Homo-oligomer: A and B are copies of this chain.
Amino acid sequence: MAKEIERKFLVKGDAWRGQNAGKRYRQGYLSTVKERTVRVRTVGDKGFLTVKGITVGASRSEYEYEIPVADANEILDWLCERPLIEKTRYRIQHGGLVWEIDEFEGENRGLVTAEVELKDEQQAVKPPNWVGQEVTGDPRYFNANLVAKPFTKWESKT
């Protein structure tokens, strides 16, 4: 079991663009219950099945297994809740950390988030200037919740 410690922020402006090519992510959920989230994902030509437990602070237990991409696509096409989450992920090095920027598409277009993975919850983070408001722990931004309530349907975006 891996423990995932992450902080998540909104991205402002476009200064982060053009630093490298992104990777296409297509993902869906077999369970979006917070105690037991089950995610299926394709990243380029690879497939993954991931089980996550409940979030405590910024930490969450996570079990990830690579599966055949053909299986992942079938499960996404036929079994997962709708809509699927589609996004392009860009990885940018800054201040000794890797920032993962997710630019969402489809029913979540307009949403751009940046995440950093930390060694422990106390680790200092110096965000780049294109990083805005922190949204760690705000359940609206959990990818699993962007299925039932996609960004384009939100009444208030603040």
Contacts and interface: CB of A to CB of B under 8 A. Distances in A.
Interface residues on A, range: 20 to 34
Nearest to A35: B79
Contacts of A53: 78-79
A67 B67 contact: no
B74 A1 contact: yes
Interface in A48-106: 49, 51, 53, 61, 63, 65, 67, 71, 74-75, 78-81
B1 A36 contact: no
A51 B35 contact: no
B49 A78 contact: no
Contact of A51 (B36, B79, B81): B79
Nearest to A52: B79
What is the total number of copies of this protein in its complex? 2
A81 to B, nearest CB: 8
Contacts of A30: 30-31, 36, 38, 51
B65 A65 contact: yes
A1 to B, nearest CB: 5
Contacts of A38: 30-31, 38
27 contacts: A1-B71, A1-B74, A30-B30, A30-B31, A30-B36, A30-B38, A31-B31, A31-B33, A31-B36, A31-B38, A35-B79, A36-B80, A36-B81, A38-B38, A40-B51, A49-B49, A51-B75, A51-B79, A53-B78, A61-B74, A61-B78, A61-B79, A63-B67, A63-B71, A63-B74, A63-B75, A65-B65
